[in-house]
A and B are shown apart, each in its own frame.
Chain A
Amino acid sequence: MENFIVVNLNNYYKTMKKTKLLTIIGGFSLLLLSFIFMSLDHIDATNVAGTSSDIADFFAFEGDNPDNTVFVATIQGILAPGVVTENASFDENVLIEFNIDNTGDFIEDLVIQAIKRGDSIYFFGPVIPNQTGLESDVITSAPNHIVQISTTEETFITNEDGMSFFAGPRRDPSYFDFNRFIDIANGDAAPEGFYPPGESTDFFVGLNVLAIAVEVPNSLLGNAPQHILESQGTISGLPPAYNVWVSTKRKE
């Protein structure tokens, strides 16, 4: 048993506790206001919540072909099955960018850009961006590929030049007892914490999202740099690894 469970409070502690409690409640009030409901990145902040640029989650992994890397971004969660999912659409003014740092400085050396035109998503890259950071233009001179946007009824995939492309509604792959986490952050789940097995609820289990998936040969991504945790986390023996992230950018 952890010793904090059996600590006997004396008057000093009681007085201290009240003071600290008020301080913490005050300090946390802002934090608590921001915990509405969200996913692993879904609706994570008020400015972007519920918009066509709101990123829900991001995945990067070795493909079925081990010489490939797969990038998956989910956006515009949370979509209920039925009409809400059927009516969800990508935004022609929102550029979705997969960023790849292959030098270890956390600045993108390559991007794969995706943007909607008509009933399709146009992909550009992997290509060296014209500029790094918060602003981008579409690099129309880059190799490009087109995939028709899938529907709830029909799946379209483009396989070209060793790459694969997909865009459309999919079941939300994220899983987490999100509501209980909010309770924990709010202090409403203390001291128990998460629910025991059988009582927890996966917030995302019945929901859909819009997804973009690209599978790319590693040969198009350059050599990977030393793993960041080798230098920053003092963990040895990790393989070289790209640093990758997804961003959404809206046309001015």
Chain B
Amino acid sequence: MKNYKNKSYKLTVFVVLLLTALIFVQCKDDDDNGNVIDVISCNDGIQNGDEDGIDCGGSICSPCEDNQLNFDGNFVQEDIAGRPGVNIIFGITDLSKNNYNVSEVANRTIFQEDFQEVLEHYYDIYAISLDIPVDELNYENNIFDWNAGTFTTIMSNYDALQVAPDGPTTYYNATNNLVFTGRYLSDDVMDFTLKLIFGGADGTRFDGNNSTPQLTTDDVGLGDRDFTLSFPYLEVPLTLE
């Protein structure tokens, strides 16, 4: 009897252990046969499922509204423009022009020296062609009495269009003595810029008269353009007709 009792005790312990083990087996999460249901809500405040935006679009939610378009991201400067022609006229090298385009307006001090060198280069070209020592033909103060340093500082360090809210707009108007109060589509900005570069104190230094080179005007005007239109003030595109 003693042995029987001992065997019976061992069997009981075995069964208890087995049942205990089965409890853990049953707790394993493999009993759903793949029928997982992922609940998607169109008002849970997050973009999930096949939604195109947060709680919109996809196969279940209503279409995304315009204001739910994605405008995210960091945008990095590639080009910039203030006054017309500045980088083209005064940029000294391709590298310098590229650098100018990715610089801040308020951080252009480093370009002033190059601008002044380019200004003198234009004069050197004509000195050579006219058989004059380059040291003897130089920029002279322009109609505003700006010397080369002041002129190229204004062009490099303050390269923005100035626009006066109380008008009138003009890039330059000798009649009412206004300068840089905006830029109309019709303003002959390049002629004025050339006059500042080549015109000297009275604006006529190299105007093509008296056997001088013609450098204060390109003699191109508006042509047949119409700048009297209302907003957007620009002519419709030209077509092939």
**Which positions in A face B, CB cutoff 8 Å?**
1-2, 4-5, 7, 9, 13, 16-17, 20-21, 24, 27-28, 30-31, 33-34, 38, 40-41, 44-48, 51, 53-55, 57-64, 66, 69-70, 72-73, 79, 81-82, 85, 94-95, 99, 101, 105-107, 115, 117, 122, 132-138, 140, 144, 146, 152, 155, 157, 164, 166, 169-171, 173-177, 180-181, 184-185, 187, 190-197, 199-202, 205-208, 211, 213, 215, 218, 221, 224, 227-229, 232-235, 237-252
Contacts and interface: CB of A to CB of B under 8 A. Distances in A.
B46 interface: no
Contact of A193 (B72, B88, B184, B208): B208
B162 A81 contact: no
Contact of A202 (B185, B217, B223): B223
B84 A191 contact: no
Given A191-B213, A200-B220, A228-B158, 12 more contacts: A27-B121, A40-B81, A45-B97, A106-B158, A138-B73, A140-B71, A170-B232, A176-B220, A177-B218, A196-B214, A243-B161, A247-B77
Interface stretch (B5-13, B23-31, B33-41, B101-109): B101-109
Contacts of B75: 94-95, 135-138, 249-252
Given A134-B104, A191-B129, A228-B158, A170 B212 contact: no
Contacts of A207: 238
B79 interface: yes
Contacts of A4: 127, 130, 132, 136-137
A241 B236 contact: no
Given A69-B163, A229-B179, A171 B234 contact: yes
B70 to A, nearest CB: 9
Contact of A20 (B104, B128, B164, B206): B128
B182 interface: yes
13 contacts: A24-B121, A41-B88, A45-B94, A47-B102, A60-B163, A72-B185, A95-B75, A170-B237, A173-B225, A238-B181, A243-B161, A245-B81, A251-B73
B92 interface: yes
Given A4-B130, A64-B231, A134-B76, A171 B238 contact: yes
A176 B162 CA distance: 22
A129 to B, nearest CB: 11
A191 B130 contact: yes
Contacts, number: 387
A218 B161 contact: no
Given A28-B121, A81-B238, A244-B163, A59 B220 contact: no
A46 B94 contact: yes
Given A28-B121, A40-B84, A17 B133 contact: yes
B112 interface: no
A135 B234 contact: no
B125 interface: yes
Contacts of B211: 1-2, 5
Closest 6 A/B residue pairs (Cβ): A190-B129, A45-B97, A193-B213, A249-B75, A166-B232, A213-B232
A95 B76 CA distance: 9
Contacts of A54: 79
Given A58-B84, A193-B206, A233-B146, A187 B125 contact: yes
B32 interface: no
Contacts of B77: 134-135, 247-249
Given A2-B210, A200-B220, A70 B126 contact: no
Interface in B83-141: 84-85, 87-88, 91-94, 97-98, 100-102, 104-106, 118, 121-122, 124-134, 136-137
A192 B219 CA distance: 13
A47 B94 CA distance: 9
B93 A194 contact: no
A137 B71 CA distance: 8
A60 B181 CA distance: 9
Contacts of A115: 71
A203 B181 CA distance: 26
Given A169-B237, A170-B235, A202-B223, A13 B73 contact: no
Nearest to B206: A193
A252 B75 CA distance: 6
A249 B76 contact: yes
Given A31-B93, A44-B97, A227-B180, A69 B165 contact: yes
B184 A61 contact: yes
Contacts of A208: 237-238
